[in-house]
């Protein structure tokens, strides 16, 4: 009896030590699921999901605090990808957080800009260039279209404009849409 | 002449990986089409008039667009470089004629959605004066291959078969890569198109000179011209020219005329029985393939100093009054070309650039000819009837039978339709050459190729978005890192400022202490002064007496003033 208790006790202590050692030795700093979710999110950092950015939203999804349908810029494609990753059922975008629109970029009306730097402070990706009392401008290629710079502007000189399709980024239309259009045109 | 670098030389003892089949094989799939080439081959090549105004797009090739070197008002000469390439996979653009640049800006270019792109507009001065291009290379067949590649690049030559891949990249196999076989693609498989056949018959010498230059540049072990068996005139012309020049190491091999025999991978399979690896290039199996038009362009550039400023274009179809092949300057509006072919017939219905299988509809004829425009097709509804409305796929499997890339077109269709872009890549979407065989045989008239093109552009777009998202993430993280750093720096500055204040407090203390010390010193001095001088202690009575005497004297002097 005593031997058995001793043996089990020693084994338990051994495994405890082993587990304790591996917990330190093979420690993973961040949750890989968070990284995977973050990789799917569109990184606009717009905060429409009610979190402070894409990574906090990813952390909230991983923790089960947020749903997967709160990202309007990502739209259906992102919801689908998240559903695939997490093994959940896809659901329609929660309209409370906004509607999915085509990608737009901010443009500053440079004649109106007073150089207050408020938009520069609001931009989550440092895509606005300027200095105090100097005209500001948006680096269009870096703009994620998050619209965070629009409300702070005291003179309302920032507009969101749709990205123009150029020949290198043109996409073939979905054939059924095209056929429907042709059919509609004829009738 | 510079010696070729060691890396340029083929490894002499490397085994030859490629051998030609005794009888060409039949590639899998494909369809037999009515060639309809006779109507454009009735007359020899005509030289098209140089139009008054040319629209030269900055991007006429696969790869990065070029950057304009001229601005409005500049005078240019024919053959002068007017746009330069900024990256490796790109090709410069040259002025097709002499004249004045009247605009550099966005104009409609040949594109299925009728989009515009940057063009240089040149108003011809009618003189057609040639610039000294410096492209000609004396003793070209003894020249350094690197020099040849540079000239091919400077001449702006791209693949003229249709895709427009920069030729300078294809004549650069890279160090340690042997070219066992150079294939010259003369298999012009698409109906109506006859520009290669016309070129071979009219200028076989240019073609053969170009082959020699390319063979020298890539150190190819064997050279073969692959041609379709339904082009007897071209075969005869080539063989005649080869025997005239006593050239026995270039062989002409006919392959069965079945669409798409002129596809690069299909031609390679037909001639060698080898398959190009999925998503790979022919060079991976030691083969390089060039179009005949491209070889002729290389010869024109390196032996006659002419950059790629013109090409042969087939203008055909029942919608054209006088079909034919024309040598056209790049940038010529299609409408001018149609006019020189007698104009449209009354029942013209569609305008297509390229052939009926792989070409695309043009929304207007006010578009320029570019380097890759091999054919302008104006057809009637009788020739190319509008596709009947598409119905559901009946899973007949005919598409899989005709697919020359041995894909499963039906699966690709389902996944493209469901926008399942991961699955569709599992079915090797990117090995699809968009030949259109599947859509041609589809009894449900599904626009299959459009689905594949839709899926391809969507996938590229997703990849681009992913890249942009990665950049945005990096920028956001960096911003957060910067804000954090700024906060810390601010705190550090504040702490430092506080510290700086504290020493001041210390200074005050020190001053106070100094003052106190000074006061102490003064006090001590005063105290010392009230005591008698120290040197009056322990005196002898004699000294005492002297002091008393002196004191007395001082006293008496003070009392009797």
pLDDT value of residue B195? 94
Q: Lowest-pLDDT range, B309-313, B443-447, B534-538?
A: B534-538
Q: Is A12 helix (H, G, I), strand (E, B) or coil?
A: helix
Residue B10 has pLDDT above 70, yes or no: no
Give the span between the Cα atoms of B401 and B469, in whole angstroms. 41
Outline where DSSP puts E strands in B229-280.
250-255
- Give the dihedral sign, CA B408/B414/B419/B420: negative
CA distance B534 to B292: 124
| DSSP annotation string for B372-409 | T--EEEEEETTTSPPPPPP-------HHHHH-TT---H
* B166 band by pLDDT with thresholds 50, 70 and 90: very high
* More confident call, B349 vs A180: B349
The model's confidence at residue A149, banded by pLDDT at 50, 70 and 90, is very high
Grouping H, G, I as helix, E, B as strand and the rest as coil, residue A77 is helix
According to the model, what pLDDT value does residue B1 have?
A: 39
The pLDDT tens digits for B95-109 are: 999 999 999 999 999
pTM higher than the cut 0.90: no
SS3 B128: coil
CB B116 to CB A179 under 8 A?
no
CA B33 to chain centre: 33
Instruction: Give the distance from residue A17's alpha carbon to the nearest chain B alpha carbon, in angstroms.
Output: 38
Cα(A46)–Cα(A146) distance, rounded to whole angstroms? Answer: 4
Instruction: Tell me if A169 and B453 make a contact (CB, 8 A cut-off).
Output: no
> Which among B211, B198, B45, B218 has a CA at the least distance from the CA of B146?
B218
The H or E element that residue B168 is part of is helix B167-170
H helix or E strand, kind and range, residue B483: helix B448-530
CA distances from B266 to B102, B269, B428 (A): 44, 5, 17
Cis peptide bond prior to B247, omega within 30° of 0: no
Contact B389, B399 (CB under 8 A): no
Contact B451 A175 (CB under 8 A): yes
Which is it for strands B116-124 and B53-57: parallel, antiparallel or unpaired? Answer: antiparallel
Cβ neighbourhood burial of B314 (10 Å; 0-12, 13-18, 19+): buried
What is the Cα–Cα distance from A150 to B497, expressed in whole angstroms? 37
Q: Do residue B458 and residue A178 have CB atoms under 8 angstroms apart?
A: no
Q: How far is B81 from chain A (nearest CA, A)?
A: 23
Give the span between the Cα atoms of B545 and B557, in whole angstroms.
18
Search chain B and give the residue with CA nearest A125. Answer: B476
Supply the pLDDT for residue B4: 44
Phi, psi angle pair for B360, to nearest 5°: -135, 150
User: What pLDDT is attached to residue B163?
Assistant: 83
Whole-number percent of chain B with pLDDT over 70: 95
Distance separating alpha carbons of residues B531 and B519, to the nearest angstrom = 19
Please compute the mean of the pLDDT values over residues A160-164 and round it to a whole number.
89
Confidence of residue A179 (pLDDT cuts 50, 70, 90): low
Would you place residue A186 in the very low, low, confident or very high pLDDT band (cuts 50, 70, 90)?
very low
Chain B residues close to A175, C-beta within 8 Å: 447, 450-451, 454
Q: Give the model's confidence band at B85: pLDDT under 50 very low, under 70 low, under 90 confident, else very high.
A: very high
Q: What is the CB-side half-sphere exposure of residue B424 using CA atoms within 13 A?
A: 24
Give the pLDDT confidence score for residue A175 in this predicted structure: 87
What is the rounded distance in angstroms from the CA atom of residue B446 to the CA atom of residue B309?
Answer: 39
Percent of chain A with pLDDT over 90: 52
Sign, Cα dihedral of B534, B535, B540, B542: negative
Structure tokens given for B210 = 């170009």
Per the CB < 8 Å rule, is B417 touching A127?
A: no
Over the stretch B207-258, which tens digit does the pLDDT of each residue have?
Answer: 999 999 999 999 998 999 999 998 899 999 999 999 988 778 899 999 998 9
- A167–B109 CB contact, under 8 Å: yes
ipTM: 0.81
- Indicate yes or no: CB of B111 within 8 angstroms of CB of A167: yes
Nearest to A43 among B111, B453, B476 (CB): B476
Chain A with chain B: Cβ pairs closer than 8 A: 75
CA dist., res. B510 & res. B490, Å (int): 30
| Half-sphere exposure (Cβ direction) of B528: Cα atoms closer than 13 Å | 9
Q: Are B263 and B271 in contact (CB under 8 A)?
A: no
- Give yes or no for a contact between B288 and B261, defined as CB atoms under 8 angstroms apart: no
Q: How confident is the model at residue B510 (pLDDT cuts 50, 70, 90)?
A: confident
Search chain A and give the residue with CA nearest B457: A171
CA angle in degrees (0–180, nearest 5) for B341-B346-B349: 90
Give A-chain residues touching B117 at CB under 8 angstroms: 166-167
3-state secondary structure (DSSP) of residue B158:
strand
Closest alpha carbon within chain A to B386 = A182
Interface of A with B (CB under 8 A): 38, 41-45, 53-54, 77, 124-127, 142, 144, 165-176, 178-179, 183
User: Which residue is listed with tokens 């082993």?
Assistant: A18
Which tens digits make up the pLDDT trace of A34-76? 889 999 999 999 999 999 899 999 999 999 899 999 999 988 8
Asked if A172 and B454 come within 8 Å (Cβ–Cβ), the reply is yes
Q: Do B472 and A144 touch (CB under 8 A)?
A: yes
């Amino acid at each position: 009896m005593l031997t058995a208790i001793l043996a089990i006790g020693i084994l338990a202590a051994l495994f405890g030590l082993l587990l304790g050692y591996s917990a330190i030795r093979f420690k993973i700093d961040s949750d890989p699921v968070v990284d995977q979710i973050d990789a799917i999110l569109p990184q606009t950092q717009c905060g429409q999901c009610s979190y402070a950015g894409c990574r906090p939203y990813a952390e909230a999804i991983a923790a089960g605090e947020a749903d997967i349908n709160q990202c309007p810029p990502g739209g259906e494609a992102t919801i689908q990808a998240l559903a695939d990753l997490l093994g959940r059922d896809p659901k329609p975008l929660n309209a409370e957080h906004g509607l999915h629109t085509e990608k737009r970029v901010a443009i500053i009306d440079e004649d109106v800009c007073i150089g207050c730097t408020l938009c520069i402070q609001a931009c989550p990706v440092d895509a606005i260039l300027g200095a105090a009392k100097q005209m500001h401008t948006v680096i269009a290629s870096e703009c994620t279209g998050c619209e965070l710079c629009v409300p702070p502007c005291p003179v309302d000189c920032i507009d969101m404009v749709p990205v123009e399709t150029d020949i290198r980024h043109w996409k073939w239309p979905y054939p059924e849409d095209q056929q429907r259009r042709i059919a509609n045109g004829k009738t | 002449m510079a010696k070729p670098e060691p890396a340029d030389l083929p490894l002499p003892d490397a085994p030859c990986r490629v051998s030609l089949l005794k009888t060409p094989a039949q590639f899998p799939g494909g369809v037999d089409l009515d060639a309809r080439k006779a109507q454009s081959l009735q007359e020899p090549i005509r030289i098209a008039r140089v139009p008054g105004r040319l629209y030269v797009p900055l991007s006429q090739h696969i790869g990065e667009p070029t950057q304009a070197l001229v601005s409005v008002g500049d005078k240019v000469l024919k053959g002068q470089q007017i746009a330069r390439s900024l990256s490796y996979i790109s090709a410069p653009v040259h002025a097709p004629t002499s004249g004045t640049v009247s605009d550099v800006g966005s104009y409609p270019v040949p594109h299925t959605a009728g989009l515009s792109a940057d063009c240089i507009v040149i108003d011809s001065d009618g003189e057609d004066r040639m610039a000294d291009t410096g492209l000609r290379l004396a003793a070209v067949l003894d020249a350094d291959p690197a020099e040849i590649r540079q000239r091919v690049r400077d001449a702006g030559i791209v693949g003229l078969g249709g895709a427009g891949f920069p030729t300078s990249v294809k004549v650069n196999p890279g160090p340690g890569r042997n070219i066992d076989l150079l294939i010259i693609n003369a298999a012009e498989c698409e109906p109506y198109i006859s520009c290669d056949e016309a070129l071979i018959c009219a200028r076989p010498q240019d073609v053969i000179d170009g082959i020699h230059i390319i063979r020298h540049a890539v150190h190819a072990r064997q050279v073969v011209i692959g041609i379709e068996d339904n082009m007897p005139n071209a075969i005869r012309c080539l063989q005649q020219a080869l025997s005239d020049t006593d050239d026995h190491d270039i062989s002409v091999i006919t392959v069965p005329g079945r669409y798409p025999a002129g596809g690069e991978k299909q031609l390679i399979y037909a001639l060698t029985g080898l398959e190009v690896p999925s998503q790979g290039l022919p060079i991976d199996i030691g083969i390089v393939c060039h179009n005949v038009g491209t070889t002729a362009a290389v010869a024109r550039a390196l032996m006659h100093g002419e950059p790629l400023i013109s090409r042969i274009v087939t203008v055909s179809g029942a919608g054209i009054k006088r079909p034919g092949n024309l040598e056209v300057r790049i940038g010529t509006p299609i409408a001018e070309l149609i006019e020189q072919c007698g104009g449209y017939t009354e029942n013209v219905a569609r305008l297509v650039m390229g052939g009926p299988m792989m070409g695309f509809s043009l929304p207007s004829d006010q578009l320029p000819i570019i380097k890759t425009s091999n054919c302008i097709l104006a057809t009637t509804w009788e020739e190319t009837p509008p596709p009947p409305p598409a119905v559901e796929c009946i899973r007949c499997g005919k598409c899989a039978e005709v697919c020359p890339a041995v894909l499963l077109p039906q699966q690709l269709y389902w996944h493209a339709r469901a926008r399942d872009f991961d699955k569709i890549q599992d079915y090797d979407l990117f090995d699809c050459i968009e030949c259109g065989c599947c859509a041609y045989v589809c009894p449900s008239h599904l626009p299959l190729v459009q689905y594949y093109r839709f899926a391809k552009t969507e996938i590229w777009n997703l990849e681009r978005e992913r890249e942009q998202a990665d950049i945005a993430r990096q920028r956001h993280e960096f911003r957060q890192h910067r804000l954090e750093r700024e906060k810390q720096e601010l705190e550090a500055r504040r702490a430092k400022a506080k510290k700086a204040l504290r020493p001041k407090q210390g200074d005050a203390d020190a001053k106070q202490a100094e003052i106190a010390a000074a006061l102490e010193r003064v006090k001590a001095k005063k105290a010392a002064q009230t005591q008698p001088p120290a040197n009056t202690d322990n005196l002898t009575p004699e000294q005492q007496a002297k002091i008393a005497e002196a004191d007395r004297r001082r006293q008496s002097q003070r009392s009797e003033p």
